[in-house]
Amino acid sequence: MPVKKKLDWFVLCNSIFLIAVGMLCLIPMIHILAVSLSSSSVAATGTVTLWPKEFTLKSYEFVAQRSAFWQSMLVSLERIALGGTLNLVLIATVAYPLSKEKGEFRLRTFYSWAFFITMIFGAGLIPTYMVVKQLGLIDTIWALVFPTAIPVFSVILLLNFFRAVPKELSEAAFIDGAGHWRTLWQIYVPVSLPALATILLFSLVTHWNSWFDGLIYMNDPSHYPIQSYIQTIVVQRSLATMTPEEAKLMADISDKTLRSAQIFLGALPIICVYPFLQRFFVKGIVLGSVKG
């Protein structure tokens, strides 16, 4: 007769707890989606919960006509394309030498501390702004990319992953005449895809969700990334970027449904990207933190 397995109460309780936490994370986004799909009169009463009432797409039709929204979306897409690529290249370039033993790279400890100390002490907002301004980066996309070009946490994650790569691989490459640069990009990077996918996810989320740097580094609202644009609409409720024609159309929709539609659309791209990288996420975190 088959042996019945005992019920593991810890696994059961843990699963229920994680499902509850997951639902708590989803409920706000579902509520925003429901409000954005509801009529303005119902949304104004505050009775919309998790299901739209008097279904309508007017808010999304209005957003689709707003050039400022799509311009800010393009700025954010350009930012994550440049920022994500720059992050991966620089993080891999920095992590490779720091992953070597002290006998192979004498100044490894010095450079490791030079990077690590920036996680504890920051220069501050005003010095950072002055540096960006003196470099002539104000009102350019590079002001949003260069200040976060080398996230130290990601460097630590990747260098620990590199240390777990068998030395025999690099030794075989050196015997075949490969240098450090070729060994990095043809040996270490291909076998570190889980860690790189995790770092890429961190980079995309950071660049996409950042809003404050857009406000301080961009004088022209047309250069705002999507989160900075949404902040001016939702928090400051600024209508400076709205044309007279668009202001007239606001009479047919609710300010609440319009803001909800823009918030949902602003979060949608990163929600779509996450499932494709999620399978690498846990593996990259665990393997990159095993060996210190």
Q: What percent of the chain has pLDDT over 90?
A: 18
Q: Greatest CA separation found in the chain? A: 79
- Matching residue, tokens 């857009």: 214
Quick: pLDDT tens for 222-244: 899 988 888 887 666 555 555 66
Better pLDDT: 7 or 240: 7
Length of the chain: 292
Quick: pLDDT tens for 131-170: 999 999 999 999 999 998 999 989 988 888 888 888 888 8
Q: What does the alpha-carbon distance between residue 52 and residue 167 come to, in Å, rounded to a whole number?
A: 58
Quick: pLDDT tens for 78-118: 999 999 999 999 999 999 999 888 888 888 888 888 888 88
Would you call 148 helix, strand, or coil by DSSP? Answer: helix
Structure tokens at 281: 């996420």
Residue 239 in domain: yes
Q: What does the alpha-carbon distance between residue 63 and residue 230 come to, in Å, rounded to a whole number?
A: 12
Residue 33 in domain: no
Q: Alpha helices of the chain — where are they, by DSSP H?
A: 9-36, 40-45, 58-64, 67-98, 108-120, 125-134, 142-145, 152-163, 167-175, 180-183, 189-191, 193-209, 212-217, 226-234, 244-249, 255-290
Q: Residue 15: which pLDDT band, with cuts at 50, 70 and 90?
A: confident
Q: Provide the domain count of the chain.
A: 1
Structure tokens at 145: 């990319």
- The lowest-confidence range among 68-77, 188-197, 268-277 is 268-277
The predicted pLDDT at position 55 comes to: 84
Taking Cα atoms as reference points, which of 125, 276, 150 lies closest to residue 203? 150
Better pLDDT: 254 or 102: 102
Taking Cα atoms as reference points, which of 71, 30, 64 lies closest to residue 49? 30
Residue 51 in domain: no
The predicted pLDDT at position 290 comes to: 45
Q: Are residues 164 and 287 in contact, defined by beta-carbon separation less than 8 angstroms?
A: yes
Quick: pLDDT tens for 28-53: 888 888 888 888 778 877 788 888 88
Residue 210 in domain: yes
Residue 50 in domain: no
Res 68 pLDDT > 90: no
Phi and psi at residue 135, to the nearest 5°: -80, 0
The amino acid that residue 278 corresponds to is: Q
The predicted pLDDT at position 272 comes to: 80
Q: Residue 277: which pLDDT band, with cuts at 50, 70 and 90?
A: low
Query: What is the mean predicted confidence (pLDDT) over 277-287?
Result: 59
Taking Cα atoms as reference points, which of 246, 245, 236, 241 lies closest to residue 222? 241
Residue 145 in domain: yes
Taking Cα atoms as reference points, which of 193, 225, 195, 197 lies closest to residue 212? 225
Average per-residue pLDDT in the chain? 82
Q: What does the alpha-carbon distance between residue 147 and residue 82 come to, in Å, rounded to a whole number?
A: 13
Which of left, alpha, beta for 156 (phi over 0: left; psi -120 to 50: alpha)?
Answer: alpha
The predicted pLDDT at position 258 comes to: 81
- The lowest-confidence range among 50-54, 168-172, 197-201, 281-285 is 281-285
Torsion sign over Cα 139, 238, 64, 84:
positive
Q: Whole domain around residue 218: which residue ranges?
A: 67-261+274-290
Residue 142 in domain: yes
Residue 57 in domain: no
The predicted pLDDT at position 130 comes to: 92
* CATH code assigned at 133: 1.10.3720.10
Better pLDDT: 258 or 242: 258
The predicted pLDDT at position 282 comes to: 58
